[in-house]
Structure 1
Amino acid sequence: MLDEASVADVTAGTPEVIKSKKPVSRFRLISSRLRSTPRFWVGFIGLAVISLWAIFGLAPNAWNYTDLDVRNMGASPSGLHWFGTSDIGEDIYAQTIVGLRKSLIIGLIVGPLAAIIAGIIGAVAGYIGGWWDRAIVWVIDLLLVLPSLFIFILLSQVLKSKSWVALIFLLSGFGWMIMARVIRAQTKSLRERDFIKAARFMGVDTWTIIRRHVLPNVSSLLIIDATLGIGGAILSETTLSFFGFGIQAPDVSLGTLLSAGQGAAATRPWLFIFPAAILVFTVLSASLVGDALRDAVDPTSGVNRD
């Protein structure tokens, strides 16, 4: 028999998870890992700051993004126009706020929406198998080899007459294929697990098994994909808008601001630098959160950099 002192000596260097009498849930374990990851806090605080700025940033500004100050056309940053003005007197600060809002909305919708599509299609293909699986894999492979940029270019004329909401569905429609393949492979493995076999034996229908058992078990992958997809969607929208195939005037996004300011980057750098800096900061923050979340869910996915 070990006395209390001996037990204390044995458990002195034991991790908290082992010493705890109650099993630690996966959610608490991931939360604990995230709290101890500095880059998660850097990215999370960065996203929080940029989101609050996008929501409330126009409140202290005297100019709307459609206003024209004809007395200060092409003016440098000042107390009157914090980010300067464009060639026709548009307030760059107000336009940057509005463009950031549009880019954030697109990223926050496209990332999760593409992950949801990937989860459903990948789970159906992996669980049902047969000709469903072969047909879905064929569609995935076809979409992966199609040059999405050229498709966007071809559809740009149609998008010009539509709302920018159409761009959300277009980006989501080309952002789910790789994760769908991953979910399909995971589902094929889950299909042979005992709890799935037990559910089938009890007569649970296919769609209920996918909804209650398959998707919850791959949800961590989908959350990571959705988080990382936010930054990717913002970059995709910015790239398309930069080349004139995404957001169209009179709407404003970070891509349209970068496109309008690139020609004057050397002579009037405020037209380009401020939207570019905001874009880099936003995408970097989202990437840090997604990267930290991936390592928290699967510590073996990469070398710990903290």
Structure 2
Amino acid sequence: MILRQNLSPAIVGCFCVLSFLTVLVMAAPWLSPSDLSEVNLLDRFRPPVFMGGTWQYPLGTDALGRDMLSLILRAIQVSLTIAVIGTIGGAIVGTTLGLVAAWIGGILDAIVGTLVDFQATIPTLILILALITVLPSADFTVFVAIMIFHGWDRYARLARAIALSAKSQPYVQAQQIMGASTFRIITRSVLPNAMAVLLVNMSINFPQTILAETTLSFLGVGIQPPDVSLGLLIGIGRDQLFNAPWVALMPGFLILITTISISVLGDWARDLVEAD
């Protein structure tokens, strides 16, 4: 189906951008020219080559003289890893709860429905900030687990609606009469029919997860030094916008093109699903 579509230059460009970023994420440890802990105060605020700098530091340095190329490569790796795991984890948790609640019904359905309504009434960032506040530390693993909460309710709501609709369909009722197990019906019949809608929702939720991680790191409650993320780099560089704008603008540009690319591909995927 995809191969028959007339791919516009914008779609191809977005594919290329995301493919390039994927390569950077996978090869970041080998592409980084220096260690993140390598500090050289004599080389602080060196400009990038496109602003009159030298190829010793192609993307310049920060306030501690650290190589911005190494920092950005690590930041891309951290931010996109958190976004991918958070999006997939939220999709798994929300979809599972939605399908099981709709199929079993009763008290479980009421509990899941209450949690979904509660999540919808309170901004997700407020909940995440509350969780970070009560937890003893917010290292990478804990932060990834927290980001799973971002958007799980939308998956649960979609999966529940699809499961409730499927329960009344003849093909599902026929499988129940033939003695098929609930697990087999859900995994073989209900879930495949829901995958297209859930994948489109993932493409919408992914840039939102990136922006949520960026916001938290910018506020200083996300990824903590000595590790680094795109949001943390923007937070570090906000005080040097006039004398060293590249520290904040380059990670900001990466966030911009990443979220735009994913949003464009998400709209394209939604159009494909609606066309079917």
Q: Same fold (TM over 0.5)?
A: yes
CA contact (8 A) 1:107 1:229 kept: no
What pairs up with 1:95-114 in 2 under 5 angstroms?
95-114=71-90
What is the alpha-carbon distance in structure 1 between the residues aligned to residue 120 and residue 136 of structure 2? 25
Alignment of 1:1-306 (within 5 A): 29-33=1-5, 36-56=7-27, 59=30, 62-77=33-48, 78=53, 79-157=55-133, 161-299=137-275
Answer yes or no: is the 8 Å Cα contact 1:159–1:246 preserved in 2. Answer: no
| 1:245-299 deviations in Å (ceiling 9; x for gaps) | 1111111000100000011112211111111111111111222222211111113
Contiguous gaps of at least 5 residues in structure 1:
1-28, 301-306
How big is each residue's C-alpha offset from its partner over 1:224-251, in whole Å with a ceiling of 9 and x where there is no partner? 2223322221111111100011111111
User: Larger Cα Rg: Structure 1 or Structure 2?
Assistant: 1
Q: What residue identity is the alignment partner of 1:41?
A: V
How far apart, in 2, do the equivalents of 1:283 and 1:126 lie? 33
Query: Which gives a bigger RCO, structure 1 or 2 (Cα 8 Å, sep 6+)?
Result: 1
Distance 1:130 1:156 in 2: 33
Matching residue's letter, 1:135: I
What is the aligned-residue identity percentage?
29
User: How many Å apart are 1:91 and its aligned residue?
Assistant: 1.1
Q: TM-score, normalised by structure 2?
A: 0.90
Count of aligned pairs? 271
1:25 aligns with none
Long gaps (5+) in structure 2 = none
Q: Which moved more, 1:128-137 or 1:187-196?
A: 128-137
Cα displacement (A) at 1:127? 2.5
Deviating 4+ runs (over 4 angstroms): 57-61, 157-160
TM-score by length of 1: 0.82
| Counterpart-to-counterpart distance in 2, 1:132 and 1:58 | 45
CA distance in structure 1 between the aligned counterparts of 2:106 and 2:144, rounded to whole angstroms: 32
CA distance in 2, matches of 1:249, 1:160: 16
